[in-house]
Amino acid sequence: MVDWLRKYASDEGINFSQLIHDDYFLAIKLTFNAGLYVSAMKLLVCCIDSLAYIEYGDDRGAFVKWMEEYCELAPLGITAAELWELRNGLLHMTNLSSSKVRKEQVRRISFRVGDAPEIPRDVGGVYYFDFLGLVQAFAQAQARWIESYNNDRGKFATFVERYDETISDSRVAVARLGSGGFATAP
């Protein structure tokens, strides 16, 4: 396994964008392009979770803080708190009804692929935002987040420490057991 810091560092610095792309967006693009939109959304919110952890550590409100600090969600018509609750519903139950949504403390939101203006966004008590709009907003947020490292070089040591704690498909160590793939017990 190649050390990520060695692989993505050069004399110019660390290629954060390529690192995030390889560790997170390859899988998001694969699932999205295969029409597995729920899986792609799950991976996207997990990516946000990881970046929020890297930025704020083990802070229960890190996801919402990161989104509010770096991501412009207003054009999508949603808030960071609503996206957090969608994330909770999707990751924990694969539905749109987190506990706060069920208690009507947060509006129920979901996503759609494609954003035709003639199709209403509010349907049946669910507000739909455009998935690709979120991806674009996230890309801009990621650029702002990366720029924060140029503005505050002191953040770099924490980045390295916390990024070392995250795992991804591109950085997992793999041991091959025979030629058949998975080993099974007799």
Specify the pLDDT at position 181: 57
Helices (H), the chain: 4-8, 16-20, 26-33, 37-56, 62-70, 80-93, 99-102, 131-151, 155-163
**Radius of gyration from C-alpha coordinates of the chain:** 18
pLDDT at residue number 2: 60
Per-residue pLDDT of the chain (186 residues; tens, 9 = 90+): 568 888 888 888 888 889 999 999 999 999 999 999 999 999 999 999 999 999 999 999 999 999 999 999 999 999 999 999 999 999 999 999 999 999 999 999 999 998 777 777 888 899 999 999 999 999 999 999 999 998 998 999 999 999 989 888 777 655 566 655 554 444
127, 111 Cβ separation under 8 angstroms: no
Q: Which residue has the tokens 């692989």?
A: 7
Per-residue confidence (pLDDT) for residue 6, from 0 to 100? 87
